[in-house]
Amino acid sequence: MNPQARIKELTDLLNHYNYQYYQNSVSEVDDFTFDRMLEELTTLEQQYPADRRPDSPTQRVGGTISKEFPTVYHRFPMLSLGNTYSEADLIEFDNRVRKGLNGDTYEYICELKFDGVALSVTYEDGVLVRGVTRGDGVRGDDITPNIKTIRTLPLRVKADGLPPVFEVRGEGFLPLAEFERINKEREDIGEPLLANPRNAASGTFKMQDSAVVAQRRLDCFLYSFLSEPEVFQTHEESLNVLKSWGFNVSPTWRKCGTIEEVMAYIAEWDTRRFELPLGTDGIVIKVNRYDQQRELGFTAKSPRWAIAYKYKALAASTTLDGIQYQVGRTGAVTPVALLKPVLLAGTVVKRASLHNSNEIQRLGVMLHDTVFIEKGGEIIPKITSVDVSKRTALCEEIIYPTECPACNTRLYRREGEAHFYCPNEKYCPPQQQARFEHFIQRRAMNIESLGEGKIELLIDKGLVQSPADFYELTSEKLLGLEKTYEDLESGKKRVVSFRQKTVENILNAIERSKAQPFANVLFALGIRYVGLTTAEKLVDFFGSIDALAAAPLESLTSAPEVGPRIAQSVVEWFSDTDNRVYIERLRLAGLHMEAERKIVEREGSALEGKTVLYTGTFANFSREELEAKIAANGGKLLSGVSKKLNYLIVGESPGPSKVNKATQLNVPMISEEEFMRLIAG
Ligand code: IVH
């Protein structure tokens, strides 16, 4: 088959698999095969860039860097909706609609009001050609490469009777589960957390590197269809057709014949909306028939045929008494609002997150201001606005610190980042404390019996300056230590004291931690950007701390999923003498500093001293079985084709890049049968 035909075949097949997977939840191929086909298509597209189709599934994984997004005009302006919070307003809206339609009968479509980012996506001849943000409603940013990473958004629509050009609109969002996953990962590597799913989605859509966007699995619910001339009679028909064309239409909409049915919908979703994968802040009510929508028309800002009913957020007002600046493990400074205690949704709220200095500016908040706070999807309440009418002469401007509140070192801000950082990594007390906490967590050294104020006590008493000091603690040093703390959250006094039983528990846990595998130890070191998953990858690739410490930048970036940012951070960490000493102390304490060798039952030595790699699928072995066979016969598995490779085992539908490279480098290629004969001697 010629390359052009193969590109077409792979594009169609992969798009079909994607469609089945994302729209119908059917997996027609296993991940491995899918990845290999995608890899083949990527290679072919690199060789024949002119033949890459605009609907190529390779776009899903990004790869485009946009310095600036072009501004484009919307074909039809993107209007906003009138808002209401009361049922009385809805009845008035219904009366206006009835009057406007001169007694004609009408129906409504009710939908949820999704809390994300409004998007407009244009298709020409069924192919996604452009994705644009709402912007000011008249013009928005062309963010097509980022839009293409949304896996539920078809890159090509195949259906009869498609208008040559049409536009769909909807709400782009970061699913809550995805938001939590990203924040968990950020917490792991000591990065400041994303404030909330909506801001995170809007920030992600505007990122310049679409490959990074692709890693954050954005999604999108569609709720409008536009074409000229109009092809549908009703909004209901649009939603049904959009769904049948493979668009992600939330199944939560309902047709309502009367305003009472609308009220019932509102009441039902008041609680059920929390089951959805994204935040919602109300519902949208739209007149169903398009001819009636036209008849009702628009005001200057919004349609007369639609209205948004907003659920009342759980809100309260209180005063901002002060700001505490917290310093995290990597030195990021996060401002926290200290509030006059107020009851909100059954709990007393005293603190609210302010995220960063930009947020303080955005709110325009001053010290002692009266502020509104709300509880959204997140657990920590947030300040939503300032009650400027209550501002007095006693209110003071908030002066963001220029020095670390804990150690007085001058703060700095990295290009393009919202947070300020304290650079005094080693000696800044809260950074030290957070490093200890990172070290003892379950997924690191698992010494959690040292939590809850015990580390503070050890630091206060001068018993630990580095986590390596944990391994020199003895019951003599610990027994009888005691201190009373005031809990910031509750204001209550708390006594931390080391009695016999506590000391035994701590020392046992420290002893047990020595058995933690090397990947957990590596994670525990707290190297910036090295989360547990990255630590596992590094351990698989390098095998030992010595190999990792000696690895130059190029060798690090050749490890799977290690980019320049992680590589640079690892190199810097190991070039620090104090860190080298730290490792030696941990090694002396008996911590694992290399991967445990998998115990291999030897079958033979046909591959003794030989390096092997495989590509494709095999009739007699799964990947794991094949790898085990190679090891059992003395072979060493390599991660890529190089001159050092002795054999490339080629299975069914092999990866073309590996085969091409092996051909270029004259690496011997053997079939599955030949491999079996080889090991059989
Ligand atoms: S329809 C002319 N439907 O709300 C009105 N909008 O205030 C077109 N939104 O910018 C919008 N869920 O970002 C519509 N089911 C829904 C919606 C929805 C959320 C957002 C959208 C729009 C804003 C209007």
For residues 594 and 31, what is the distance between their CA atoms, to the nearest angstrom?
31
Ligand 1 neighbour 447 (Cβ under 6 A)? no
Check: CB of residue 539 under 8 Å from CB of residue 561: no
Averaged pLDDT for residues 293-297: 96
Residue 377 has a pLDDT of 54
- Please tell me if the CB atom of residue 74 comes closer than 6 angstroms to any atom of ligand 1: no
Q: pLDDT grade, residue 376 (50/70/90)?
A: low
Q: Is the pLDDT of residue 319 over 70?
A: yes
Write the DSSP symbol of residue 411. P
Please state the atom number of ligand 1 nearest to the C-alpha of residue 171: 13
DSSP string of 330-397?
Answer: T-EEEEEEEEEEEEETTEEEEEEE--SHHHHHHHT--BT-EEEEEE-SSSS-EEEEE-GGG--TT-B-
Q: How far apart are CA 404 and CA 69, in angstroms?
A: 36
pLDDT at 155: 93
Which ligand 1 atom is the nearest neighbour of the CA of 83? 7
Options 67, 113, 184, 477, the catalytic residue: 113
Distance, C-alpha 121 to centroid of its chain: 23
591-600 pLDDT, tens digit each: 999 998 766 7
Tens of pLDDT, residue by residue over 23-80, are: 776 778 887 888 889 989 989 998 998 999 888 988 887 777 777 899 999 999 998 8
Angle at 200 between CA 195 and CA 204, to 5 degrees: 150
> Which residue has 């079996």 as its token pair?
676
291 CA to centre of ligand 1 in angstroms: 20
The pair of three-digit structure tokens given for residue 34, joined into one six-digit string:
């899918």
Site to probe by mutation for ligand 1, drawn from 74, 78, 80, 253 as the one with most ligand atoms within 8 Å of Cβ, is: 80
Q: Is 235 in the pocket of ligand 1 (CB under 6 A)?
A: no
Question: Average pLDDT of 307-313?
Answer: 89
Are residues 158 and 11 in contact, defined by beta-carbon separation less than 8 angstroms? no
Q: Which two tokens stand for residue 18?
A: 């994607």
Q: What is the pLDDT of residue 484?
A: 85
In 3D space, the residue among 306, 317, 337, 346 whose CA is nearest the CA of residue 84 turns out to be 306
Q: The tokens of 489 are what?
A: 């959250």
Please state the rounded mean pLDDT for residues 135-153: 93
CA of 353 to the centre of ligand 1 (A): 28
What is the average per-residue pLDDT within 366-394? 87
Q: Which CATH number fits domain 73-310: 3.30.470.30, 3.40.640.10, 1.10.760.10, 3.40.50.1820?
A: 3.30.470.30
Strand pairing report for 611-615 and 647-650? parallel
Ligand 1 center from residue 677 Cα (angstroms): 65
pLDDT tens digit sequence for 89-113: 999 999 999 999 998 999 999 999 9
Mean pLDDT of 525-546: 92
362/366 Cα distance (integer angstroms): 11
Residue 144's nearest CA partner among 218, 225, 205 is 205
Q: Can you name the CATH fold of 611-679? A: Rossmann fold (3.40.50)
Residue 433 has pLDDT above 60, yes or no: yes
Give the H/E segment covering residue 476: helix 475-478
Q: Are strands 127-133 and 314-327 parallel, antiparallel or unpaired?
A: unpaired
Residue 36 CB less than 6 A away from ligand 1: no
Ligand 1 proximity of 134 Cβ (cutoff 6 Å): yes
Helix (H, G, I), strand (E, B) or coil at 669: strand
- 335-346 pLDDT, tens per residue? 999 999 998 877
Closest atom of ligand 1 to 113 CA is 12
Cβ of 468 less than 6 Å from ligand 1: no
Structure tokens given for 152: 């539920």
| pLDDT of 355 above 80 | yes
From 78, 80, 81, the mutation candidate for ligand 1 (largest count of ligand atoms within 8 A of CB) is 81
Class of domain 315-412: mainly beta
| Residue in 427, 431, 424 with CA at minimum distance from that of residue 410 | 424
Question: Starting from the edge strand earliest in sequence, which strands make up the sheet with 165-173, in order?
Answer: 127-133, 117-124, 165-173, 219-226
Residue 99 falls in the annotated catalytic set: no
Whether 529 lines ligand 1, by a CB cut-off of 6 Å, is no
Return the ligand 1 atom nearest residue 116 CA: 13
Distance from residue 513's CA to the centre of ligand 1 (Å) = 53
| pLDDT of 483 | 85
What is the pLDDT, as a whole number, of residue 663? 86
pLDDT of 617 reads 84
Is it the case that residue 378 has pLDDT exceeding 60? no
The ranges assigned to domains in the chain are 3-61, 73-310, 315-412, 429-513, 518-589, 611-679
| Cα–ligand 1 centroid distance for 85 (angstroms) | 16
Find out whether the beta carbon of 200 lies less than 6 Å from any atom of ligand 1: no
For 17-52, letters b (16+ CB in 10 Å) and e give bbbebbbeeeeebeeeebebbbbbbbbbbeeeeebb
Q: Distances in Å between the alpha carbon of 261 and those of 107, 255, 285?
A: 10, 9, 11
State how beta strands 219-226 and 108-114 pair.
Answer: unpaired
Question: pLDDT tens across 467-513, in order?
Answer: 999 999 999 999 989 888 777 666 678 888 899 999 999 999 999 99
CA distance linking residue 574 with residue 137, whole number of Å:
51
CB 119 within 8 A of CB 171: yes
Predicted local confidence at residue 166, as pLDDT? 97
- Give nearest CA residue, ligand 1 atom 22: 80
CATH classification code of 3-61: 1.10.287.610
Assign 3-state DSSP to the chain and report helix, strand, coil percentages, each to 5: 40, 20, 40
For residue 423, whether the previous peptide bond is cis, meaning omega lies within 30 degrees of 0, is: no
> Within 10 A of 378 (CB to CB), how many other CB atoms are there?
16
| Closest atom, ligand 1, to C-alpha of 112 | 15
Give the integer Cα–Cα distance in Å for 27 and 37: 15
- What value does the CA radius of gyration of the chain take, rounded to a whole number of Å? 30
**C-alpha 80 to ligand 1 mean position (Å):** 7
pTM for this model (two decimals) = 0.71
Q: Residue 414: CA atoms inside 13 Å, Cβ hemisphere, count?
A: 10
Tell me which residue of 439, 445, 450 sits closest to 512, measured CA to CA: 445
Residue 284 Cβ inside 6 Å of ligand 1? The answer reads yes
Q: Would you say the CB of residue 629 lies under 6 angstroms from ligand 1? A: no
| Residue to mutate (ligand 1; options 79, 93, 113, 285; most atoms within 8 A of CB) | 113
pLDDT grade for 671, boundaries at 50, 70 and 90: very high
Decide yes or no: CATH 1.20.200.10 for domain 518-589: no
Whether 308 lines ligand 1, by a CB cut-off of 6 Å, is yes
What are the backbone dihedrals phi and psi of residue 463, each rounded to the nearest 5 degrees, phi first? -85, -25
Say which residues have a Cβ less than 8 Å from residue 132's Cβ, sequence separation at least 6. Answer: 72, 74, 119, 120, 121, 122, 140, 141, 142, 143, 144
Q: Calculate ∠ Cα 326-332-338, nearest 5°.
A: 25
Average pLDDT over residues 205-209: 91
**Rounded to the nearest whole angstrom, what is the distance from the C-alpha of residue 115 to the centroid of ligand 1?**
9
Pick the CATH number of 429-513 from 1.10.150.20, 2.60.40.10, 3.20.20.70, 1.20.120.450: 1.10.150.20
d(CA 67, CA 403): 33
Same fold across 3-61 and 429-513: no
Q: Which residues pair with 420 in a beta bridge?
A: 333, 413
Ligand 1 mean position, distance from CA 144 (Å): 20
Give the list of residues 6+ apart from residue 68 with CB closer than 8 angstroms, or none.
none
Ligand 1 atom with minimal separation from the 303 CA: 2
pLDDT at 314 over 80: no
- Judge if the beta carbon of residue 80 lies within 6 A of ligand 1: yes
Centre of ligand 1 from the C-alpha of residue 206, in Å:
20
Residue 339: name the closest of 308, 302, 378, 369 by CA.
369
Cα–ligand 1 centroid distance for 171 (angstroms): 8
